[in-house]
Amino acid sequence: MRLLRILFVLAALTAVPSVALSKEAQPKPPADFVPVENAPPGEQIPAMPLLGTAYGFIWVGVFGYVWSLARRLRKVETEIAELEAKRR
């Protein structure tokens, strides 16, 4: 019984300051939410660069692929013409 009483006192002694400390460390919650017209600059992700990059990537990709295809086709068709000329 005595041991129990000691443990209870010890627990109370350690719990009180820890509760007080945790209350002190915790930031105060906002009393109310304040609306703003625009989010702070650091919070915004601008849409335009993302949109521009997406469309730009596809445009460049399509042009690049068409150019590469045309170049490969021209090369192989020149080779065919040379081989056929050699056969004649």
Partner 1 sequence: MALAAGMFAVAPWMIDAAPYEATMGLVYKIYFFHMPSAWMFLTAAIVAGVASFRLLFLKRPRADHWVTAAAELAVVFGAFTLVTGPLWARKAWGVWWVWDARLTSSLMLFMIFVAYLLLRKYGGPGSDKLGAGLALFGMANVPFIYVSVNYWRTFHPPTSVVPTLPVAMGIPLWYCVTAFTLLFVILLRLRARLEHQRARVEALYLAEDEA
Give first-to-last CA distance, the chain, whole Å: 116
- Residue 51 touching partner 1 (CB under 8 A): yes
Q: Can you spell out the DSSP letters for 12-78? A: HHHHHHHHHHHHHHSPPPPSS----SS--GGG---HHHHHHHHHHHHHHHHHHHHHHHHHHHHHHHH
Judged by CB under 8 A, which stretch of 9-17, 21-29, 34-42, 58-66 contacts partner 1?
58-66
For partner 1, the binding residue among 15, 19, 66, 67 (CB under 8 A) is 66
Q: How far apart, in whole angstroms, are the C-alpha atoms of residue 55 and residue 61?
A: 10
Does residue number 50 form part of the binding site for partner 1 (CB under 8 A)?
Answer: yes
Interaction of residue 67 with partner 1, rule CB under 8 A: no
Contact residues toward partner 1 (CB under 8 A) are 45, 47-48, 50-51, 53-55, 57-59, 61-62, 65-66, 69, 72-73, 76-77, 79-80, 83-84, 86-87
